[in-house]
Amino acid sequence: MHQEQALQIQAEDAQEHNDLGLTYSKSGKHREAIKAFKEAILKKPNYAEAHYNLAVTYLILNDSKAALREHNVLKNLDQERAIQLFDLIHG
């Protein structure tokens, strides 16, 4: 039970970092957004939404190589989001 609680706290923390990244991104603070998304992924490596948001932020900064790296991770986590991201990268 204790381990489940720890995982829940970690997941909530990951979501908070993802939300912070979205806030930074919306205000044009893309470097800070990248740090927040990466922190979310550190807390929860299979967090598809954070990988997607990180990739989109990389695209905003014209770093398609980094966006493609996230796409490769995302393919294994969320096929639908991976397709959306692929369309953004190559569209």
**Both structure tokens of 43:** 């807390």
User: What local confidence, expressed as pLDDT, does residue 91 receive?
Assistant: 80
At 11, the pLDDT band (50, 70, 90 cuts) reads low
At 5, the pLDDT band (50, 70, 90 cuts) reads low
- Pairwise CA distance, residues 60 & 6, whole Å: 34
In this prediction, residues 68-90 reach a mean pLDDT of: 95
Report the chain's terminal Cα–Cα distance, integer Å: 46
Phi (first) and psi of residue 52, to 5 degrees? -65, -50
CB-CB contact of 53 with 71 (8 Å): no
Alpha-carbon separation of residue 55 from 33, 43, 78 (angstroms): 11, 17, 14
**Tens-place pLDDT, residues 14-62:** 999 999 999 999 999 999 999 999 999 999 999 999 999 999 999 999 9
3-state helix, strand, coil in the chain (%, to 5): 85, 0, 15
